[in-house]
Amino acid sequence: MRLLHGLLALSLSPTGFAAEPAAREWDAPNGIHIPYRLAVPRKVEEGKVYPLVLFLHGAGERGDDNKKHLKHGISSILAGAEKIDEPCFLIAPQCPEELWWADLDAEKRRLVAAKRPNPRLEAVLALVEEFSKTHPVDPKRFYVTGISMGGFGTWDLLGRAPEKIAAALPICGGGDTSIVSRFKDVPIWAFHGDADPTVPVTATTDITEALEKAGGKPKLTIYPGVKHDSWTMTYKNPEAIRWLFSQRRK
């Protein structure tokens, strides 16, 4: 098991975070190799713990270059956190080409929740657990968000580890409606464009409706006329970022 990090090795900017999230690698216990990016607070104060955000990218950013997944979301999340004075850790893993964060029925755009997470998501979970043991992470403030394929991964992770997640922002993804009772008490704010040609908006509305029937209280934003890119406006929305960081696991 190999976790390459080192907070002092990061090149820091005069703002709240590293100038660019540092390139790191993770060799998981299950044998999966995951390149990832790591952002850390500019100043880690002794005795203080910080939120951890997990960002799961979409299908277009898959690969092994540890670069393509910087394209969407990450900079806006960090900028939003800085504006509300919420220094945090952020982990952004990269999924290999042609593979998925979750067991997705690509034809039907539906998530099929297997008994255990697929190897990539299992490796990411192990990374989060190891990182949290070796860094000053607030165990009550682990947040998960993702776009498209990463939105599906976010919903899947909610079903895998609801006891660890303080809140989630799934964007233009979908989940398995049969397992929503597992995470009905986790604060969730879901987003989707109603003109999305890639992942139909029903992928989000179906699972939020199922959550409500199970007793959950998810927040839902549907953008009229918006196609697949519903993440840009979401991550640049101060209200969404403020809501995420205001949640704490009980």
**What's the pLDDT score for residue 13?**
45
Domain extents for the chain? 2-246
The pLDDT assigned to 106 comes to: 53
Task: Report the alpha-carbon distance of residue 222 to residue 103 in Å, rounded.
Answer: 25
Q: Which residues of the chain have pLDDT under 50?
A: 1-2, 4-15, 18, 108
DSSP string, 144-181: EEEETHHHHHHHHHHHH-TTT-SEEEEES----GGGGG
At residue 11, the pLDDT reads 41
Compute the distance between CA of residue 74 and CA of residue 54 in angstroms, rounded to an integer: 10
Q: What pLDDT, on the 0 to 100 scale, is given for residue 84?
A: 95
pTM of the model: 0.90
- Considering the chain, what is the average pLDDT of its residues? 89
Confidence (pLDDT) at 43: 87
> In whole angstroms, what is the distance from residue 37 CA to residue 23 CA?
5
**Residue 204 — φ and ψ, nearest 5°?**
-85, -45
What is the DSSP annotation of 26-46? EE-TTS-EEEEEEE-BSS--T
- Model pLDDT for residues 161-186, shown as the tens digit of each residue: 999 999 999 999 999 999 999 999 99
Two tokens, residue 240: 């969404």
Percent of the chain with pLDDT over 70: 88
CATH number attached to the domain at 2-246: 3.40.50.1820
